[in-house]
């Protein structure tokens, strides 16, 4: 997971490298992402990449861990115990997730790829870790809510968890459809992923959460 040569680099250089690599890996899947394209963009020699990382997979894993940590920093601050109602808690978590998207479009796009689109055989063994974690977390939450009586006990926990995880992550697509947000364009122009219309956006989110609520409680 990244050689000392990379960690020894000045943090500016590291950041520049990460940005360039992320841009490439956010726009292409593992197989198609090109190391050559990254070094060309950075104006460095290809050999340098292999002074920093063992190989392409090593770089990918580093980027993945990096982005996951950034995302985690947005989410872990929200605690269930600080909210009276589960759905208020859920909504707060969601809002933070959107903040993450707005402030880290590249990370967001890359993780979207990793979580939803990636199927390259080389990385298959390293997928699902995040989704599995999210799923496990939701299962735990749901069990607790069942005990508290706010969730329907008749439905199996894993189906409910699947329901929530899927809908949570599908919001992006809804927004693309409903508001014709063009993520790719926004990324290329350096704009925030949602182009700025967060209010409209939260309305759609609210409606979707409302549906979830009706389904599960």
Structure tokens at 165: 């995880």
> Is 11 an interacting residue with respect to DNA (CB under 7 A)?
no
Residue 2 CA, distance from chain mean position: 21
**Taking CB under 8 A as the rule, does residue 210 contact a second copy?**
yes
- b (16+ CB within 10 A) / e for 5-29: ebeebeeeebeebbebbbbbbbbee
Contact track, DNA, 50-89, x by CB under 7 A? xx---xxx--------------------------------
Shortest distance, position 118 Cβ to a second copy, whole Å: 8
Query: Under the criterion CB under 8 A, does residue 76 sit at the interface with a second copy?
Result: no
Count of residues near a second copy by CB under 8 A: 33
Is 37 a residue that touches DNA (CB under 7 A)? yes
Residues of this chain, 3-42, that bind a second copy according to CB under 8 A: 29, 31-32
Partner whose footprint covers residue 16, from DNA, a second copy, none (CB < 5 to 8 Å by kind) = none
Contact partner, 9, from a second copy, DNA, none, Cβ < 5-8 Å per class:
DNA
Closest approach, Cβ 3 to a second copy, in A, equals 28
Tell me which stretch binds a second copy (CB under 8 A): 52-60, 84-92, 114-122, 190-198: 114-122
Contact positions vs DNA (CB under 7 A): 4-5, 8-9, 13, 33-37, 44-48, 50-51, 55-57
């Amino acid at each position: 997971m990244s050689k000392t040569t990379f960690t020894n680099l000045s943090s500016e250089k590291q950041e520049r490298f990460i940005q360039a690599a992320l841009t490439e890996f956010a726009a292409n899947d593992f197989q198609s992402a090109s190391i050559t394209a990254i070094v060309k963009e950075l104006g460095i020699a290809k050999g340098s990449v292999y002074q920093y990382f063992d190989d392409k997979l090593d770089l990918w894993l580093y980027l993945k861990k990096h982005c996951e940590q950034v995302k985690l920093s947005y989410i872990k601050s929200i605690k269930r115990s600080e909210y009276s109602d589960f759905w208020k808690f859920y909504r707060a978590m969601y809002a933070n997730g959107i903040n993450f998207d707005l402030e880290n479009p590249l990370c967001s796009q890359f993780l979207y790829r990793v979580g939803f689109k990636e199927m390259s055989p080389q990385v298959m063994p390293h997928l699902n870790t995040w989704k599995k974690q999210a799923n496990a977390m939701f299962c735990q939450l749901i069990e607790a809510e069942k005990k508290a009586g706010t969730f329907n006990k008749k439905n199996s926990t894993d189906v409910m968890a699947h329901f929530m995880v899927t809908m949570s992550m599908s919001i992006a697509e809804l927004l693309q459809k409903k508001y014709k947000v063009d993520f790719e364009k926004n990324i290329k122009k350096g704009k925030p992923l949602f182009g700025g219309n967060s209010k409209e956006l939260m309305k759609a989110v609210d409606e979707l959460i409302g549906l979830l609520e009706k389904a599960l409680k």
